Amino acid sequence: MLEIKNLSKTFLIGTPNERTALDNLNLTVKDGEFVTIIGSNGAGKSTLFNAVCGGFTPDEGSILLDGKNITYEQEHKRAHYIGRVFQDPMKGTAPDLSIEENLALAYTRAHSGPFGKALNRKSRNFFRESLASYEMGLEDRMKTKVRFLSGGQRQVVTLLMCTLVAPRLLLLDEHTAALDPATGEKIMKITNKIVKEHKLSTLMITHNMKSALVTGNRTIMMDSGKIIMDFSGAEREKLTLEELLKMYTDKTRREFDNDRMLL
C-alpha cells in the first residue's frame, strides 16, 4: 500500500519563478489498486511521480510504501521495487544493448546478482516466453539492439523490464502518449494484462480522459498540486466524459488548457 501524507514541494523559492508543484497532497493507494491520474499541464502529476521515485526531497510530508517510510530514501534504491515507464520510449532502456541484455540488466537489478547469471539458458528462455505472450514478435529478435525497435516495441521491452520481477508499485507516466493510436491501444492491452496477472498497485498518468474512466478501478484529478476529485466504484462507472469536464470547470473556474484532454 502506498501512503502519501501532506506532501508539499515548492521550486525556485524566493525567485520570480517560484512555483508550488505539490500542495499538501494526500493519497492512499491500496494493494492491487489501479489508479488513473488526469489533470491539465502543470497540475503536478509528473512531480508526484518524481517525488515517489525519489527525484527530489519534499519540503514537507511523507511517503510510505508497505508501511516503510521511503521519503528520504535514495532514488536508485527505490528503483529496486518501484517500476516506472515514461512517455519517451527511449527512456528506461539502454539503446545500444540488445533486448535480452536489457532484460538481463533489469533481472540482475531486481535480484542483486551478477549480470552473467541473468544471461544463462534458463533466463533466456524465461525472457523469450515472457515476450512471446505479448504477441509482438520480439521473442524472435532477442539479439536486436533496442535502438532499432519501434516506439511501441521499446515500450513493451520497458514494461517487461519493470515487471520481470513484480514491483511493489508500478508508475506509468503517459506511456502511450508518444505512440500512434493503434499501437497505443495495443500497449494498453498489454499493460492491463500485466497489471492484472501480477495484481500490481499501479498509478497511470494520462491525458486521455475516456481511457482514464475505463482503465483501472479508480480515477483522480489533480490541479495546482492538489487532488481535487477522486472517483471509484459505481460513482466512476456511471460518470460520463461530459459530466467530468463540467465538474472540473465548476471546481476550478477555468477550462482545460490542453486539447488532448478532450480525446
Domain membership flag for residue 41: no
What integer pLDDT is reported at residue 29 of this predicted model? 97
Domain membership flag for residue 45: no
pLDDT of 148 strictly over 60: yes
pLDDT of 258 strictly over 50: no
As a whole number, the mean pLDDT across the chain is: 89
- Total of domains in the chain: 1
What integer pLDDT is reported at residue 241 of this predicted model? 87
With 0.85 as the threshold, say if the pTM is over it.
yes
Residue range(s) defining the domain that contains residue 123: 86-166
Residue that has been written with the C-alpha cell 492491463 in this structure: 192
Where is pLDDT greater, at 83 or 244? 83
Helix spans in the chain (H):
45-53, 75-78, 99-111, 121-132, 151-163, 181-198, 209-214, 233-237, 241-252
Range scoring the smallest mean pLDDT among 12-16, 134-138, 248-252: 248-252
Q: How far apart are CA 234 and CA 246, in angstroms?
A: 19
What integer pLDDT is reported at residue 118 of this predicted model? 61
Q: How far apart are CA 263 and CA 224, in angstroms?
A: 22
| Averaged pLDDT, 15-30 | 95
Non-local CB neighbours of 140 within 8 Å, separated by 6+ positions:
none
Domain membership flag for residue 186: no
Domain membership flag for residue 201: no
